[in-house]
Amino acid sequence: MSDNRLFEYKENFIRAAIEKGVLSHKGPFKLKSGRKSPYFFNSGNFADGESSAAVGDAYAAAVLEHIGAEKFDVLLGPPYKGIPLAVMMARSLYRLGVNKRFAFYRKEEKTHGEGTEESRDARKKRLIVGDLRDGDRVVIPDDVITTGGAKYDAIEVMENVVEGAKHVAVVIAMNRQEIDEFGSNAIEELERKTGMRVVSALMASDYFDFLDKSGELNTSDREAFRRYFRAWGTQELRDQYELKDGDIILRDRTVIPACDVRTIEKFERLVEATAQVDEIGGYKIGFSLGLRYGLPRLVEIAKKHAPDKAIIYDHQKAGTDIPDTGEDFARLCAEAGVDAVILFPQSGPVTQVRWVGEALQHGLKVIVGGEMTHKGYKASEGGRINDAEIDNMYLLAAKQGVRHFVVPGNKPQRIRHFRNILEGAGVENPIFYAPGFIDQGGKISEAGEAAGERWHAIVGRAIVDAEDMAGAAIEMTRQITVDEKFAIHQ
């Protein structure tokens, strides 16, 4: 098509959507998923002739641009939002010189009149309104895709009432470019399972770019979008804006004291004694200190003596509750001023995706673990955690863009295993944090060989119980930085 309307539809659609209150970036808006989005899309606000024309034009232009008029015969609208969309889209296509049939189906089968006839096409008469024929190439218009359920329903209805029909594409108003609650891209899953294209009149990135270029976003708004995209965006969206997992510790190899001490006074002495040791990368605060004294107070003390060191909170084991509690956990940690949190998401993928996403959206770095150091943890060793699911904890985190991982420092062969599967999943230079030394038998040299260039030894009693904590810290850092091949860089 040469009509200019075909190439202007996104901007026209965005302007119409903003004017009608369909699109707004004056968030945050709480979605059905529980996520808090900086923007909201509500197609129900397209409710007059002017806006319906903009919707139809956008859908029509999108399908012509991405599919082509010669590739489909009919529009099949799923109830209920897909019904007016099919009509609006057919009208706009006609205005562009393309005349296509449309149809829709009932959620409830017709039980009176022609629908009661016992004939070859009785089921079609009970379900279909409009013109759907055998052998049709079908495009399905709908408003959004979350799980893709309505689209699967439309395909099932189509296959049950006509012969030889083929589903070519789904056209939706807006692709939010988000992962679903299991960490999957619902649109990619729908395309993979059905073999049909998903065409979007608008992408989340289109809306963001429009707002940004038109000067509608202030610095805070822009950061809210970027954090949201980082937390919940598909890999394609994260790559588009280079939203990668940043460093927690700039040095390649450091020692992190596990601050499992009983008093705040000893915690302060520990930080003060070790703050000037360059190869101390940060401090891991556990729940014992956190619950007794409060995270904000502990962070304040640590930052007073070691302002450039990372503060990592390990709730031992965070990420094992229901999905909804992840928001409060992330908010409290962010308000306390910690830099990163450790999660062991043993409650399953939905909890994991939510907790990781909430932490990222609140500006925290995330370190994910799956395997612990003690005996009787894995099912293969008499424990309760399925061995394969341990791998899946790491792999799902990698899918969400995480590249910081806890691995058992006393099991170098397992460190090597996790390094292999993560690199195989596309994680470049995964960064490991390894506990389990000294008392649990781990050797720093062996763990370092397995971990690769970037890793951090988490050491507890060997430092915190030493009479000379500074001297003990220096001794431990010598062990991790001795190999010139892994020279520390500033």
Where do the domains of the chain lie? 5-209, 253-486
CATH number of 253-486: 3.20.20.70
Q: Which DSSP letter does residue 162 get?
A: S
Six-digit token pair at 438?
């000294």
DSSP string, 452-473: -SSEEEEE-HHHHT-SSHHHHH
Tokens of 201: 């009149």
- What's the pLDDT at 438? 61
State the pLDDT at residue 1. Answer: 40
The whole-number pLDDT of residue 213 equals 94
Inter-residue contact 82 to 140 (CB < 8 Å): yes
Query: Which DSSP symbol is given to 202?
Result: E
> Of 380, 317, 392, 311, which is closest to residue 350 (Cα–Cα)?
392
Query: DSSP 3-state helix, strand, coil percentages of the chain (rounded to 5)?
Result: 45, 20, 35
Q: 24-39 burial by CB neighbour count: b if 16+ within 10 A, else e?
A: ebeeeeeeebebbbbb
Q: What is the pLDDT of residue 57?
A: 92
Average pLDDT, consecutive stretches of 10 residues, N- to C-terminus, the chain (490 residues): 56 91 92 92 86 91 94 92 92 96 79 46 80 94 71 81 90 92 89 89 94 95 97 96 94 95 96 96 96 97 97 95 97 98 97 98 98 94 95 97 96 96 95 83 82 92 94 91 43
The model carries a pTM of: 0.89
- Of 357, 345, 338, 326, nearest to 284 by C-alpha is 338
Residues with catalytic annotation?
110, 112
Non-local (6+) Cβ contacts of 204 within 8 A are 39, 174, 175, 176, 177, 178, 229, 233, 237
Strand-pair partners of 29:
37
Residue-level pLDDT at 462? 93
| Pairing outcome for strands 137-141 and 74-77 | parallel
Please give the pLDDT value at position 6.
Answer: 46
pLDDT at 489: 33
Torsion of CA 241, 246, 250, 256, to 10 degrees: 180
CATH fold of 5-209, please?
Answer: Rossmann fold (3.40.50)
Can you give the pLDDT at residue 362? 98
Instruction: Determine the residue type at 486.
Output: F
